[in-house]
Amino acid sequence: MIIPLYLLLFFVLFHSANAIAQPCWADLKASSAPRTFILAMGANTGHLKKANDDAQSFADAIQKRFQVPSSQKCVRTDITFSDFRWNLKKLLPLVRVQDTVFIYFSGHGTTG
């Protein structure tokens, strides 16, 4: 009984609902042509109230400018440090040498 409870606690502590709510890249189609990926993340923390909006605006602008398919765009809001790492880990295996990747973060760290 202790091991399953430990695993549940680990999952709750290190993976927020935001990181696993909607999987990014789920509709990604295989292609031999170079692709462009967008990973934009916002963290409304403390007095910051527009970091999430900034991430969304950045992703929308890059998507429009470079005509990036929605399947290659990921926007995460209210992220934590573990969310940041988790999303990078999910993107890494999809990217090839010829691809272009835009990674954007809006927010700042906190000690509390």
Contact in structure between 88 and 39 (CB atoms under 8 Å) = yes
Residues recorded for the chain: 112
- pTM for the full predicted model: 0.78
Burial class (CB in 10 A: 0-12, 13-18, 19+), 87: buried
Per-residue pLDDT of the chain (112 residues; tens, 9 = 90+): 445 555 444 444 444 445 445 688 888 888 999 999 999 999 998 888 999 999 999 999 999 999 999 999 999 999 999 999 999 999 999 999 999 999 999 997 666 5
